[in-house]
Amino acid sequence: MTSRLMTPRGGGLLALAILIAATPLILPNAFYFDVAVRAGINAIVCVGLNLLIGYAGQISLGHAGFLGLGAYGSAVLTATYGWPPLLAMTLAAAVVGVLAFAVARPVLRLKGHYLAMATLGLGVIISIVVNNEAAITGGPDGMTVPPLDLAGWTIDSEAVWYWLVGLALWVAVWLALNIIHSPVGRALRSVHGSEVAAEVSGVDTARYKTLVFVISAVLASLAGSLSAHYGGFITPSDVSFFRSIELVTMVVLGGMASTFGAVVGAVILTILPQVLTWFADYEHMIFGLILMLTMIFMPKGLVPSLTVLFRIRLGARGGSAPT
C-alpha cells in the first residue's frame, strides 16, 4: 500500500486530495471560496483538454464551444423547461458527446494549423449561434440559470460548492490518470509521437483521436454546466474565442502531458486576475504574453520543467513517467 502511494500516480492523487481538503482552512471568506470554485471548474476542463492537447498532441481552439453548449444546455433545460439540473447536465453532456463524435473524424484528419483553424471555426460557429438565437439563449444579454439542487437540496453556499467541485475535480483527475496509465493512454501518446508508427503497431489512430476528443468535450460540457449553475448567470462571453485561448494557455503553462500540470495551470491563471486587479483591462494581453513566454522559455510547462529540475537536484536518473 505504501509503495503504491510512492508512485507519481498514487502520490499525486493523495497530494491532490490533501490540497483540496486543506485549502478551506486558509480561505478567509466567501470571495476566496468563489475563486477556488472557479479555479476548480477550469481545472476540470483543462484535465480533459490536456488529454487531447498534451497526450494525443491534437490542438483545439474551440473547446469554449463545448463548455458553452454545456452551460447553455443546462441553462435552457432548467430555466425554460424546468428540468432538474442533474438531468439537464447529463443530457447536455450526452449531446455534446454526440456532436464531438460527429465532427471528430473529419476535423481530426487535419493536422497542425489546419486542425487549429477547424476547431477555431467550430468554436466560433457555436459562439455565433448562442449570440444570435436570442429567443432561446437571451442573446448578448445572457440568461439567468437556476441554482443546482440535488434531490431537493439547493446548493447555494460557496463552501458547499467548493466541496462539490473539489470532489468532481479529484474524480476527473483520477479518471484521466486511469486512462493515461493504460494501453489506451499509451495509444494516445503514440499518436502524438508518430502517427504512422502507431498505425503499423496496430493502433487505430482515427478511433483514439475521436475517443479523446469526445472525452475532452464531455468534460468541458459538464464543467460548463457546473459553472452555469454556480454563477447563476451566463453570457456569450463564456463561449467566446478568448475563453478557448484561456483554456489552452492554462494547459500550456501548467505543462502539456501532465495532468497535475493542467490543474496547476488552471489554478494559477484563475487566481492571477483576481490577485492583480489592474490586470482586468489588459487580461487578453497578459494571457497572450504568458502563452508566448511559456512557449519560449518553458515549452514543457511549469510542472514537467520543475519535475526535471527536482530530479536533477536529487541526482535521480531514469525514465520520465507520465504524471
Q: Is residue 187 a contact residue for other proteins (CB under 8 A)?
A: yes
Window 191-220: contact mask with other proteins (x via CB under 8 A): -xxx-xxxxxxxxxx-----x---------
Q: Is residue 186 involved in binding other proteins (CB under 8 A)?
A: yes
**88 sits near other proteins (criterion: CB under 8 A):** no
> How far is it, in rounded angstroms, from Cα 215 to Cα 44?
12
- Four-point Cα dihedral 222, 226, 227, 228, nearest 10: 100
Q: Which long-range contacts (CB under 8 A, 24 or more apart) does 272-280 make?
A: 274/35
Nearer to other proteins by Cβ, of 132 and 178: the residue is: 178
**Which residues inside 55-74 make contact with other proteins, applying CB under 8 A?**
57
Among the listed residues 183, 322, 186, the one whose alpha carbon sits nearest the alpha carbon of residue 257: 322
Three-state SS for 17?
A: helix
String marking each residue 256-285 x if it binds other proteins according to CB under 8 A: -x----------------------------
Q: Does 106 bind other proteins (CB under 8 A)?
A: no
As measured in angstroms, the least distance from the Cβ of 207 to other proteins is 9
Query: What is the closest distance, in whole angstroms, from the C-beta atom of residue 208 to other proteins in the complex?
Result: 10
- The contacts of residue 57 (CB under 8 Å, 6+ apart) are 191, 192, 193
Q: Which one among 17, 175, 271, 306 touches other proteins, defined by CB under 8 A?
A: 175
# residues contacting other proteins (CB under 8 A): 31
Which phi and psi (to 5°) does residue 318 adopt?
Answer: 120, 175
Distance from chain centroid for Cα 298:
21
CA atoms within 13 A on the CB side of 212: 32
Only one of the segments 19-27, 38-46, 217-225, 311-319 lies at the binding site for other proteins (rule: CB under 8 A); that segment is 311-319
Q: Does 184 bind other proteins (CB under 8 A)?
A: yes
**Which is it for the CA torsion 102, 238, 224, 294, positive or negative?**
positive
Nearest distance from residue 215's CB to other proteins, in Å? 9
Q: Is-contact 251 268, C-beta < 8 A?
A: no
Q: Does 171 bind other proteins (CB under 8 A)?
A: no
* CA torsion angle 199 203 205 208 (round to 10): -170
Residue span binding other proteins (CB under 8 A) among the ranges 36-44, 178-186, 267-275, 282-290: 178-186
Residues lying near other proteins in the complex (CB under 8 A) are found at: 57, 175, 178-179, 181-184, 186-187, 189-190, 192-194, 196-205, 211, 257, 317-320
